């Protein structure tokens, strides 16, 4: 949303060019909406909502098993800390056998050992 951000162009390219569905855990939407509104105002938040309405992203709700996995991840990585939102991405990726994660948070996602692969492929 912020064209002046150094990560804007690589992130835009990933969202436009990465093959496959763009699956987003619902908890991520809450965090992103909050950050957009705080940093860029309601117009940026409305752009996110418009993209969701248009089907640019597929919302994925956590299952009961995801919640258990999230709790274990938050506890396992409590010294970082790994928060609930990041844990929801990991649990969702594991359940759906997703190996590529679009994130700028290489510190957390690069260090976590997912159950289904040796490591996530992180983009951009």
Q: So where are the chain's domains?
A: 8-123
Q: Which residues contact 25 (CB under 8 A, 6 or more apart)?
A: 59, 60, 61, 62, 85, 88, 89, 92
Q: Which residues contact 61 (CB under 8 A, 6 or more apart)?
A: 25, 26
From the list 66, 19, 24, the residue with the least C-alpha distance to 49 is 24
The pLDDT, as a whole number, for residue 5 is: 86
When the candidates are 2.30.110.10, 3.40.50.300, 3.40.50.1010, 3.90.1480.20, the CATH number that belongs to 8-123 is 3.40.50.1010
CB atoms < 10 A from the CB of 43, how many?
A: 10
Reported confidence tier of residue 15, pLDDT bands at 50, 70, 90: confident
Residue with tokens 């990726």: 93
pLDDT digits (tens, 9 = 90+) for 31-43: 999 999 999 999 9
What pTM value is reported for the model?
Answer: 0.93
- Where in 63-109 does DSSP place strands (E)? 100-102
């Amino acid at each position: 949303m912020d064209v002046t951000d150094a990560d804007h162009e690589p992130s835009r390219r990933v969202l436009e060019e990465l093959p496959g569905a763009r699956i987003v855990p619902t908890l991520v939407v809450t965090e992103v909406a909050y950050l957009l509104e705080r940093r860029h105002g309601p117009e940026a938040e409305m752009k996110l909502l418009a993209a969701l309405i248009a089907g640019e992203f597929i919302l994925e709700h956590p299952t009961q098993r995801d919640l258990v996995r999230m709790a274990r991840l938050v506890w396992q990585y409590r010294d970082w800390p790994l928060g609930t939102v990041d844990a929801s991405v990991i649990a969702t990726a594991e359940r759906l056998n997703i190996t590529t994660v679009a994130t700028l948070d290489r510190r957390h996602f690069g260090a976590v050992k997912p159950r289904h692969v040796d490591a996530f492929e992180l983009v951009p």
